[in-house]
Structure 1
């Protein structure tokens, strides 16, 4: 038989020309195609927008038009906050040429080996293009691999022997997309989450697909609402170990005999009847990760969804759980997962020992002015109805270290707490905290002790609906007869002025209401001072004192308080070295008053004074021997009733418009006590006799002639409208 070259020469000339033309075109294709695939020309064509899509390959070859074999294929896409990464050791694809004339890149078949896929969420965002229908269409009918090595979805990693076929169609430049019916399966696989091994010896079968749609019709997780899919899992489960004793939560796993079985079907966001999942996992959790037993989690879908969790109680573990929840319907709201809560009813009972209990006050309060420091056991019996806690739900904490910060006072002790939900429309939630013994300090943990007490009660109450817990929550704090070991600890509130506590003991009773931010709303306090020694404007006083304080917040935002009704009473007072037949008595009643708690702190008030005699007041202005002889007879002139306006700031006390009268005496005064300095004016009248004193530090100037006119001509220390002290 003649050789091909010999036979070729006998072909008709036109056939030989055609053959040479075909061979030339083929050679040109081989040259151009392989140069394109293996030079930067390929990158220039495919990576025109590297921030959105990048494709790189190792060596690549094409022998037939429309057929390409490439090694070390790497693709990366970025849309919104999601990054997709695909890798294949080898890929062989066939491209349909005719659809190119219809602006469609169609790959009927792509075979890949050594495949890995990753889908992760990143902080950087690449906005998707606006909706459109002018772009080219990519169509991959079947991407198949028998050697899928691993798949990562966020922190979930699956490694094993996988195979699958995936097909999709996507129109570029904001066009719609479609995921053809696809399937992926793994055998003898391992699954981990954030580096913690969860499952091994795992068999997975998954089928999935969704219809042709634009991205804005089902973005992100909303694609599950149009997805048709099924998932079957059969695996051995590792035990979960959670050590809460470290500074940071330590989560790990250990080999065990646990098991996970799941058979779930989802059709356009709705679980199909018969879907079920059971996960039995040994659990070690808590400080030092003690053994808690086996936690069983179960999901079943019939007419509704049922979720169950059970951790049997074991002696000395301080842990148990029994939950049975029903979710009305089988629709999963992937766009608004929180809607599942509104459809959930059931009961959760359990006991758990936590290393920190601060999350419990955080449920009630916007600011952490109450804290449950350290660990403790929580026993709960919660009943849910349509996503809300139902009446009868209870929470108990047998013992926990408690701290409350109120108005700059830090109160600490070992507490117990009981919370419950009472019937009503809406229900009312209360958390009753009891502290048998407590200590109160000023300015923090290392501050001076203000008082020690017993039986402190703190009750938090408010709307029992979960979403409203912290909005209108109110608190009431009460204690009785707390012991004040040393009154000098209260000098921090007096400033460095002319009033100082030098000693004494006492008791304190308080009843205060606060809001969710720990701001005082209103309350009362009674302070009893025994053997109180104090120095006021240079006078040494010794006696007993009683302060009955009434406080009402007039404006939460501006921090104004109304202290009308507050009184201060002094009994059995000895003034310096004076020898008296009967001890001096005095009382101050605030008829109107306001505290401005904004910086700088200030008190404005008008007050009524009742004194057994005027001797201490006169002693502020001059020594006993400096007064005229007629005035000396007035020092013990009987009870004196007076009124005054006052302003007090740290280290600064001002009295103005002080007017005092009795049957024998008429007195007018104004007094300014600033830190270690004092100044003021005094007018004293007895019948037709009168005298005035101008005080400036240690200097005294007497005015005997025209004393009333002199006093009336002196400037006021407070504005006429500034000391009334009425609350806004």
Structure 2
């Protein structure tokens, strides 16, 4: 030291001064640089926008200008929905000083140890700046590490012995970016997804780069359309175990092993010919996760992309798969992945047991009026042509619990289904559902039984193109002679008081067409009632009934329906306690009718009535003994033909302009029935004799003189425009 000091004193004075100046500057640099790196000053400079970028370090040191060593380095960035986090136990970097004069921060070399990297997607968004070209440029020529501990991409985690070199250039404030030729490798690594172990003994090598471009030219996943990259991977695969016994599917890995091999090259969105991948994975799936066998998946790229999957059938597993699909071309449409489906052709055959089959009717229907409850087996033979199912495709469901909700009626039973795709332009999809035995209830699963039947048939048909399935889908529901154990269950459809069923049994036959929302558009129903006991406007009646209901056409949007052609026939009817020579017969034929299903529900119709005699009609207005003596011989005499207009709304039945005739008798009437209250007018004529009755509840007022004039002067109960006419 003394020798160096002696020699230093021998230097020319100006060299000694220069040396002291250099030494002073160096000392000042050491002091300023190390103070800057280890005090809040560093945070204030680097973390000016913490919502976008944060960098923190532990102890840091700089000994030479432009060279920094830092421990416990942590960086976090947030752009759009993507958050990236980088951590290193130690980082050593050299900063080039001259490029700073060109507004460029250049790091020719950065070496890090104990590296961990994470890239995740979050709900919170930090929008990127608009395109610009005036910001500083960051350039890292080579960020290298021989000790990458793990890398996380979303839910995919790879940990093991990793190494890699990454380089990039980025202009700040909305400028372009470039990824230099970079590489990452792992040896003897493990890979998991969302905590489920997938691979072990993984050897992976990846190279990737992309050219200088602005963010808006390739945002998000569209950046893959610029990347040139390759992936080589070899690993042992864990088995997959998916237990569906509980409401939430439990996914774990099993100790059984398979194998993964991949050699893929992506060049600006195109898979290079020769790329291939194969994955053999043991599969346990279903209620209790029974063993299904070894699933083999393979991908090969040449002129096109070929994808194959095979799961050999084994007795008792309820699982098999044989798929061979070809994707036209090798381009991967990262921006619109659905285009990949549109380019796919091939065949998929298989059998699978599902814990829920409700996804099948959801393919056809906009609203869940048909449900396949619980699980079952699906056997399929599907043929695809450019992303669409092709003619000849079939689907079979041997057995499934089915529930259909139609017009407020819940029908349940054990069903089988067969689906086909028929040739045409476009193709037509058809699903035939058969239920050997079924039960129908009103108002849900615990409602009254309406009918029990056999051989219910439901056919769904529509456009066979996948995206059009639910747009014009139509359904036809048919069943014959279902038994009705108790007619009183139908009182819910008859209003409150005016018509009440008191007992009896019957049968019901139905044939209706429905739209994709489960609404009835066309159809017929035939109800036969045996020994039906009912009360109509206060009159007790016992007999047989037949209702032939017709729904000719409907307007689902306006909710108008045409019921013209519907008829109701009564036979062998005994009215009250009257001692009649022969049972009474009657028939109502709706010439025109309309149902307005919008609230409040309303029926308007014009109808023809045929009665074996007028006794029940006159009985509504007065007791038999209250009529003039000259009418008594006419009440039971001869068939009566009548016509009327009617309205049924909210439990209220209104008959107006009722005209009845036979060879000896002429009747005119109007009647308003609300709950137990009856109000109306009656005019009865025989030759020159006439009588009128004004009814209001239990009060009756007779009009014998000028009866016709009195009746004609009474107000109508329905306006003239209420005559039923189906809207255009």
Decide: shared fold, TM above 0.5.
yes
Gaps of 5+ in 2: none
1:60 aligns with: 60
2:20 aligns with: 20
Q: How far does residue 220 in structure 1 lie from its aligned partner after superposition?
A: 1.1
SS in 1 for 2:712: helix
2:134 aligns with: 134
Q: How far does residue 266 in structure 1 lie from its aligned partner after superposition?
A: 1.0
2:93 aligns with: 93
- The Cα offsets for residues 217-247 of structure 1, whole Å up to 9 and x where unpaired, read as 1111111111111101110000000111111
1:517 aligns with: 517
1:554 aligns with: 554
8 A contact 1:541–1:574 mirrored in 2: yes
**Alignment RMSD, CA only?**
1.1
- The Cα offsets for residues 534-581 of structure 1, whole Å up to 9 and x where unpaired, read as 001110011111111111343211211111111111111110111111
Distance 1:298 1:399 in 2: 33
Distance 1:660 1:727 in 2: 28
Q: How far does residue 2 in structure 1 lie from its aligned partner after superposition?
A: 5.1
1:469 aligns with: 469
2:433 aligns with: 433
SS in 2 for 1:716: coil
Distance 1:659 1:128 in 2: 81
1:478 aligns with: 478
SS in 1 for 2:634: coil
- Between Structure 1 and Structure 2, how many residues are aligned? 728
Distance 2:723 2:83 in 1: 67
SS in 2 for 1:63: coil
Distance 2:347 2:420 in 1: 15
Distance 1:27 1:675 in 2: 106
2:398 aligns with: 398
Moved over 4 A (4+): none
8 A contact 1:497–1:650 mirrored in 2: no
Distance 2:70 2:210 in 1: 29
Q: TM-score, normalised by structure 1?
A: 0.99
The equivalences for 1:320-719 within 5 A come to 320-719=320-719
Distance 2:676 2:33 in 1: 98
Distance 2:112 2:417 in 1: 62
Distance 1:171 1:716 in 2: 86
Q: Per the alignment, do residues 25 and 552 of structure 1 end up closer, same or farther by CA in structure 2, a change over 3 Å counting?
A: farther
The equivalences for 1:13-162 within 5 A come to 13-162=13-162
8 A contact 1:554–1:727 mirrored in 2: no
SS in 2 for 1:3: helix
Distance 1:453 1:139 in 2: 78
Distance 1:577 1:699 in 2: 23
Distance 2:719 2:12 in 1: 125
8 A contact 2:562–2:726 mirrored in 1: yes
Distance 1:667 1:38 in 2: 110
Q: TM-score, normalised by structure 2?
A: 0.99
SS in 1 for 2:212: strand
- The Cα offsets for residues 457-493 of structure 1, whole Å up to 9 and x where unpaired, read as 0000011111111111110000010000100000111
Distance 1:347 1:697 in 2: 74
8 A contact 2:521–2:555 mirrored in 1: no
8 A contact 1:520–1:553 mirrored in 2: no
8 A contact 1:240–1:282 mirrored in 2: yes
8 A contact 2:657–2:669 mirrored in 1: yes
Distance 1:38 1:175 in 2: 31
Distance 1:628 1:725 in 2: 39
Distance 1:573 1:395 in 2: 51
1:10 aligns with: 10
Distance 2:496 2:386 in 1: 60
Q: How far does residue 257 in structure 1 lie from its aligned partner after superposition?
A: 2.5
Q: How far does residue 704 in structure 1 lie from its aligned partner after superposition?
A: 1.0
Q: How far does residue 108 in structure 1 lie from its aligned partner after superposition?
A: 0.4
- The Cα offsets for residues 252-308 of structure 1, whole Å up to 9 and x where unpaired, read as 101222010111111111111111111011000011100011000011111211111
1:225 aligns with: 225
8 A contact 1:493–1:650 mirrored in 2: no
